[in-house]
Amino acid sequence: MVKKRFQDKVVFITGAAKGQGRAVALAFAKEGANIIGFDLEKKISYPAYNNANQEDLKKLEKEVHKIGSKIVTFGGDVRNSTDVKAAVEKGISEFNHIDILFNNAGICAYGKSWELSEKEWDSMIGINLTGSWLVSKYVIPYLIKQAAGVIIYNSSIGGLRGMNRLAHYSASKHGLVGLTKSQAIELAPYNIRVISIHPTGVDTPMNDGIAALEGSTPEKIAESSATNLIPVPWIEPVDVAKSVLFLASDDAKYITGSQYVLDAGLLTK
C-alpha cells in the first residue's frame, strides 16, 4: 500500500467548517492526515452575516470520516484564550501531537477607516490578527517539543497592498506578515517553518454575506476589489488547499518567512 503524503500527520485548522478551511481540511484528509477542526460556536455581532456554526463542523466531521481519516472538532472563538487552549489540549489528547497549523480563521467587511467604530476595528484585528497569534501561542510549544512543524497563516492580497474601504482588514492582514517573518526567525532553530499565503478573492460563502451587507452581488464585489490579471473574478478554495499542502510538505522544506502569493496576477497590474 502506497503511503499517502501526510499519512498520520495531525493538522490544526481554524475556520475549518466552511470555505478555505473546509477545503484544506478535506485535502489533508485525502492525503492521510488527521484533523483538529476549530470554528465558531455561536454567531458574532460583527460582521453581521452568517458565519460557520457547529452544524457545519459536524458536516465536516462526516466528510472527513467518509474519506477515512480521523477528526476532532471544537467550537469557540479564536480571540478567547480559554477556547483556544481547550481546543489545542483536546487535539493533543486525541492525537498526541500536532504537525501543521493552518491559521485560517478570518472575517472581512467594508467601511471607511474614519467611520469604523472601535468595536468594528477591534473585531477585525482581534479575529484576523490577535486570534491567529493566540492559536500559534498554544500550538508552538508542542511543535518545539518535537523539533518539527509548519505554521501557515492565511493572509490576503490585502496583506501586501492597501485596499479601499478595507483599512482594518488590510491592517490585520499586513500584521500577519510581520508575525510570519518574526516567528520564522524565532522558530528556525527548532526546525519549524512559518509562511503566510496571500490569495486574491476566493469563492466562499463569505462572499454572499459581504455582498448582502453591501447591497450587491458576490461577482460585482469580486470584480471591483480584485481586478485580477488573469480574467477570473476569484479563485476556488481547492486552489488554496493545493498551495497549503505544497507549503506544508517536504517539497517546500526550504520555504520559511516567505509570502506565498495566489493572486491571479493581481499585484502585477
Q: Which of 138, 142, 153, 169 is catalytic?
A: 169
How far is Cα 9 from Cα 112, in angstroms, rounded to an integer? 43
Tell me the β-bridge partners of 102. 13, 152
> What DSSP element (H or E) covers 262?
strand 259-262
Tell me the β-bridge partners of 259. 196
How far is Cα 1 from Cα 66, in angstroms, rounded to an integer? 19
Q: Is the peptide bond before 231 cis (omega within 30 degrees of 0)?
A: no
Burial class (CB in 10 A: 0-12, 13-18, 19+), 82: exposed
The question of whether 49 is a catalytic residue gets the answer no
Q: Is the peptide bond before 189 cis (omega within 30 degrees of 0)?
A: no
How far is Cα 111 from Cα 217, in angstroms, rounded to an integer? 17
Residue with the three cell numbers 476595528: 121
Reading the block at residue 256, the C-alpha cell is 520559511
Reading the block at residue 251, the C-alpha cell is 517539497
CB atoms within 10 A of CB 224: 12
* DSSP-assigned letters across all residues of 22-66: HHHHHHHHHTT-EEEEEE-SS--SSS-S----HHHHHHHHHHHHH
How far is Cα 68 from Cα 21, in angstroms, rounded to an integer? 18
Catalytic residues: 169
